[in-house]
């Protein structure tokens, strides 16, 4: 199992039906890029939520940061950008685990990245639509979820 965040844009919504499928692709892709950038920042050395709980010294190899990727998937009327990590411990860091002493430890890196991108969705939508239509703003119809 891997941690996955999805940006879904429904192309049947009025704004995207008028604008076209390519605008929906570009919008979902840009939100995905912002999410990836922020997720990579969240796992950078010295950025995490606190000292590492292991007894042995922790060495940051950069594997998690390097494994964070995005892919575009079209599912019928949905244009989806998925952000994910391929390393097995990415899920454990995001969702948490219990140490041998029973303490629960969690180092979320993807959920804060999704929240960061979600807060910027309106600005991303405006800049994406300006490229195609030179319009000042379109309402945002889209959903960002983590599962």
**57-78 b/e (C-beta count within 10 Å ≥ 16 → b):** eeeeeeebbebbebeeeeeeeb
| pTM reported for the whole predicted model | 0.78
For the segment 43-50, the average pLDDT, to the nearest whole number, is: 72
Could you tell me the pLDDT band of residue 99, with boundaries at 50, 70 and 90?
confident
Per-residue tokens: 125: 């939508």
pLDDT the model gives residue 29: 93
């Amino acid at each position: 199992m891997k941690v996955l965040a999805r940006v879904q844009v429904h192309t049947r919504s009025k704004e995207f039906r008028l604008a076209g499928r390519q605008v929906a692709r570009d919008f979902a892709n840009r939100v995905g890029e912002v999410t990836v950038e922020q997720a990579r920042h969240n796992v950078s050395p010295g950025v995490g939520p606190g000292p590492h709980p292991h007894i042995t010294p922790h060495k940051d190899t950069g594997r998690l940061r390097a494994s964070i990727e995005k892919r575009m998937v079209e599912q019928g009327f949905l244009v989806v950008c998925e952000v994910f990590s391929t390393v097995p411990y990415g899920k454990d860091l995001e969702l948490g685990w219990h140490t041998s002493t029973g303490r629960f430890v969690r180092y979320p890196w993807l959920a804060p990245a999704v929240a960061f991108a979600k807060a910027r969705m309106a600005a991303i939508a405006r800049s994406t639509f300006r490229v195609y239509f030179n319009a000042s703003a379109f309402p945002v119809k889209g959903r960002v979820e983590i599962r």
